[in-house]
Amino acid sequence: MPTAERFRLPPVLTASTWGNLWGAAWERAKQARGVATADDGTVAPVMTNREALALIAALRVVAAMTSEGFPLWYQFAAVAYGWNPTTDTFDVSQKQADRLYPADDATELQLAMQRLTTALDRERSDVDARLELDDNGFFDILVQGDVRRALLEDGATVAFKIPVPSCKDPKTGRPTGKPQRDPKTGKWTCEPVLVDDPVTAVGKPLTRLIVFAGVVAGIVLITRSARRRRARRRR
């Protein structure tokens, strides 16, 4: 499915006031995917987890300008990654990104956005109402790390399922072939294989995760170098 279909929100949202911006965001999301009804009967626009995460991240940036803040941003973000206290796992796969954000949580997110934009109009009406949505933020390891750290501070134990450089066979689920990036979008053209995060202890820094990712990449580079050396010997 083309990236444009996977992410249907505009990259930038602007309006004359912050309150109008909330309304504009609602309408654009509604136009893209329609609305869903929560268990309490409240209606909210339908978004994918990837779209919801982009909105959450953008709101977090502007929330820093207010006394209201966005204290539950990481809880909303954790929902997008499929986390709950039972699984204790983040799913950062393309499949999870494309799943729909739960209707009940979408309703709460819209209410949080309404409160925040009201505070912005009250406290920072001098700032242009603007939100920049990163369509690739769902896959950003720094974003994932921020969410994980915030949950850890609440006493949660959070593990990742992180991608490694190999495509997943859609039938067997086994690694097959090297992942490629679309030259136009820079996005992966296949669903990557996922492995459990080796960083499971509370309080371990994100650098451990980055180091692990580097080790995986190093294995690939070492394998390539060995192949090149063997090829030169044959000449």
How many angstroms separate the CA atoms of 35 and 193, rounded? 32
Please give the pLDDT value at position 151.
87
| pLDDT class of 90 with cuts at 50, 70, 90 | confident
Which residue is listed with tokens 């654009």?
A: 28
Q: Residue 194: helix, strand or coil by DSSP?
A: strand
Radius of gyration, CA atoms only, the chain: 20
10 dihedral zone (left: phi>0; alpha: psi -120 to 50; beta): beta
Per-chain mean pLDDT for the chain = 77
Burial class, 127, CB count within 10 angstroms (exposed 0-12 / middle 13-18 / buried 19+): exposed
Find the DSSP H helices in the chain. 3-6, 18-33, 49-63, 73-80, 94-98, 103-123, 141-153, 206-234
pLDDT in tens, 141-189: 899 999 988 988 877 666 655 444 456 666 666 656 655 656 666 555 6
Per-residue pLDDT at 219 exceeds 70: no
CB atoms within 10 A of CB 12: 10
Integer angstrom CA distances of residue 33 from 5, 30, 166: 10, 6, 32
> What is the spatial distance between Cα 86 and Cα 105, in angstroms, rounded to a whole number?
17
Average pLDDT over residues 21-40: 93
- Residue 193, H or E segment: strand 192-196
Question: Among 136, 145, 5, 118, which residue's Cα sits nearest to residue 59?
Answer: 118
Q: Which two tokens stand for residue 101?
A: 């954000």
How many other CB atoms are there within 10 angstroms of residue 56's CB atom? Answer: 26
* Calpha distance 185→4 (Å, rounded): 10
